[in-house]
């Protein structure tokens, strides 16, 4: 009978890869700081509304005369970059193939595809692969982490995916226009977020109606 | 400057672990076949309604005098096993900690916690970790793969997570009671599923209203 997977060997290699990622992320953070460029790492399940939020954010930022760039990660397709470009944002797509998360090395390569210098931008948004598990472990050199929780997903997700929510600076409860239709209990969800991620600010937003968008813009 | 991660070494170790998982999954499949036990691997994003679907399914199966067991995976909490036990199912929780997917070795251990012999059950359902990427690569010895796509997630998910949908025997479009509220385009979604997963049967279901549940029961 084959023996079960050997965690120590796997974890050691994982730790080495993470340490290498962290070192590169620290370099990127230095570069962003020098360019006075705030960088937001945007994380959530698939279909929580990351791209819709960025489209709406793009309109707000354009109206305010701010210039934002987006690096967007997906396993396949460049649909999101095309959507974001149509919303007036400068967008670069990373297609990861099999990889379930973005890494600092991917971000470093994507930066080359942005108009230089980085000082020309007021904000860099990184839309991660839709996944509430793996991307939590990978520092991309960001200044803030924004984790989306859609009201369609249920109030218990912070408890079930604690590593992700624990790493958040800001939790955005998205699609609040669907509150009534889904029966999502906001108080219950805020209680779970406060328990797992007491450090995180919490904001309620609807990209469809625009509720909460001005406040989110102000925060970023 | 640190060099980027070395994919070959990583992938070779990954391939070795996958081969070991496949060997154990083949053993489990043999055991399930001997016990004449159909096994369904249930996969989706977080919050697509896997547990709600199983609760509803439990009621249908109990009414039909069928005995079903569930093995349910989450990073943390045993909320789902408790929900499923309350719905009259025999449920065993696996908490994976950091692991973003179930593996055959975890299923093998969970089987020990089920009432023996396995012949006493008519159906075994395995609810995987909520993740549209990593669990696709891990065979659990199942006879069928059921992938859920919630109407709240958008029609493009089959194109963005092709490996997962390509591996499906059955795609269940869930939460169809929210079709009007979300503006989800069923025809568009079915077109994308047919493109990525032409082998898959497609079914529309609402665990809330019960629509499609009898048909799903019949299929399983």
Angle at CA of residue B32, ends B29 and B34, nearest 5°:
110
Residues in B closer than 8 angstroms to A76, CB to CB, are 159-162
Cβ(B39)–Cβ(B126) under 8 Å?
yes
Question: How far does the CA of residue B220 sit from the closest CA of chain A (Å)?
Answer: 25
Q: What is the pLDDT of residue B2?
A: 40
Tell if the CB–CB gap between A133 and B132 is shorter than 8 Å.
Answer: no
Tell if the CB–CB gap between B5 and A17 is shorter than 8 Å.
Answer: yes
Query: For residue A117, what is the DSSP state?
Result: P
Cα–Cα distance, B15 to B37 (Å, whole number): 29
A44 CB contacts (<8 Å, ≥6 apart)? Answer: A50, A130, A132, A147, A148, A149, A150, A174
Of all residues in chain B, the one with the smallest CA distance to A98 is B133
Secondary structure of A58-92 as H, E, C letters? HHHHHHCCCCEEEEEEECCCCHHHHHHHHCCCEEE
Which of A5, A132, A175 is closest, CB to CB, to B20? A5
CB hemisphere CA count around A196 (13 angstroms): 26
Which of B47, B132, B159 is closest, CB to CB, to A153? B47
A75 phi, psi to nearest 5 deg: -65, -40
Per-residue pLDDT at A9 exceeds 60: no
* CB interface of A with B, residues 110-169, below 8 Å: 129-134, 150, 152-154, 156-157, 159-163
Which of B13, B46, B132 is closest, CB to CB, to A157? B46
A10 and B CB contact within 8 Å: yes
Q: For chain B (length 220 residues), average pLDDT per consecutive 10?
A: 41 80 98 98 98 95 94 95 94 94 97 96 98 97 98 97 97 98 98 98 97 94
Query: For residue B101, what is the DSSP state?
Result: S
Residues in A closer than 8 angstroms to B129, CB to CB, are 133
Residues in B closer than 8 angstroms to A23, CB to CB, are 2
Question: How far does the CA of residue A65 sit from the closest CA of chain B (Å)?
Answer: 31
Cβ(A160)–Cβ(A45) under 8 Å?
no
Averaged pLDDT, A59-65 = 92
Cβ(B73)–Cβ(B106) under 8 Å?
yes
> pLDDT (tens digit, 9 = 90+) per residue, A114-155?
999 999 999 999 999 999 999 999 999 999 999 999 999 999
Q: Which residue has the tokens 């089959």?
A: B158
Of A123, B73, A210, B46, nearest in space to A114 by CA: A123
pLDDT band at A91 (very low <50, low <70, confident <90, very high): very high
Residues in A closer than 8 angstroms to B79, CB to CB, are 156, 159-160
Tell if the CB–CB gap between A46 and B45 is shorter than 8 Å.
Answer: yes
Averaged pLDDT, A16-27 = 95
Query: Partners of B91 in the beta sheet?
Result: B70
> pLDDT (tens digit, 9 = 90+) per residue, A155-167?
999 999 999 999 9
Per-residue pLDDT at A2 exceeds 50: no
Cβ(A190)–Cβ(A202) under 8 Å?
yes
Cβ(A14)–Cβ(A134) under 8 Å?
no
ipTM score assigned to the predicted complex: 0.90
Per-residue pLDDT at A12 exceeds 70: no
Of all residues in chain B, the one with the smallest CA distance to A184 is B47
Q: Which residue has the tokens 């696996």?
A: B94
Average pLDDT, whole number, for chain A?
A: 93
A173 CB contacts (<8 Å, ≥6 apart)? Answer: A148, A149, A150, A151, A186, A189, A202, A203, A204, A205
Angle at CA of residue A59, ends A53 and A63, nearest 5°:
145
Cβ(A43)–Cβ(A172) under 8 Å?
no
Tell if the CB–CB gap between A161 and B46 is shorter than 8 Å.
Answer: yes
Phi-psi region of B57 (alpha: psi -120 to 50; beta: other; left: phi over 0): alpha
Cα–Cα distance, B111 to A55 (Å, whole number): 47
> pLDDT (tens digit, 9 = 90+) per residue, A192-213?
999 999 999 999 999 999 999 9
Of all residues in chain B, the one with the smallest CA distance to A134 is B100
Within a 10 A sphere around the Cβ of A115, how many other Cβ atoms?
Answer: 10
Angle at CA of residue B36, ends B33 and B40, nearest 5°:
75
Question: How far does the CA of residue B20 sit from the closest CA of chain A (Å)?
Answer: 7
B28 CB contacts (<8 Å, ≥6 apart)? Answer: B104, B107, B108, B111, B140, B141
CATH code linked to domain B15-219: 3.40.50.300
Which of A5, A76, A129 is closest, CB to CB, to B162? A76
Cβ(B68)–Cβ(B123) under 8 Å?
yes
Q: Where are the domains of chain B?
A: 15-219
Of A70, A19, A65, A66, nearest in space to A40 by CA: A70
**Helical H runs in B35-175?**
50-63, 79-86, 104-112, 157-160, 162-166
Cβ(B172)–Cβ(B203) under 8 Å?
yes
Per-residue pLDDT at A44 exceeds 70: yes
Q: Token pair for residue B76?
A: 């943390």
Q: What is the pLDDT of residue B6?
A: 39
Cα–Cα distance, A53 to A73 (Å, whole number): 15
């Amino acid at each position: 009978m084959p023996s079960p997977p050997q965690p120590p060997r796997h974890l050691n290699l994982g730790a080495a890869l993470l340490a290498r990622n962290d070192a590169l992320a620290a370099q990127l953070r230095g570069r962003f700081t020098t360019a006075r460029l705030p960088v937001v790492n945007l994380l959530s399940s698939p279909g929580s509304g990351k791209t819709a939020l960025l489209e709406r954010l793009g309109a707000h930022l354009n109206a305010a005369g701010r210039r934002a760039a987006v690096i967007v990660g997906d396993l396949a397709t460049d649909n999101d970059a095309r959507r974001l470009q149509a919303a007036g944002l400068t967008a670069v797509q990373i297609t990861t193939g099999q990889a379930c998360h973005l890494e600092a090395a991917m971000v470093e390569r994507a930066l080359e595809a942005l108009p230089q210098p980085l000082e020309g931008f007021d904000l860099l948004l990184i839309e991660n692969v839709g996944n509430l598990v793996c991307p939590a472990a990978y520092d991309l050199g960001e200044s803030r982490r924004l984790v989306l929780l859609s009201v369609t997903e249920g109030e218990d997700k912070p408890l079930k995916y604690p590593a992700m929510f624990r790493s958040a600076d800001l939790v955005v409860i998205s699609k609040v226009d669907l509150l009534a239709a889904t029966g999502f209990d906001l108080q219950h969800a805020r209680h779970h977020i406060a328990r797992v991620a007491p450090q995180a600010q919490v904001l309620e937003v609807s990209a469809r109606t625009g509720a909460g968008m001005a406040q989110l813009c102000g925060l970023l």
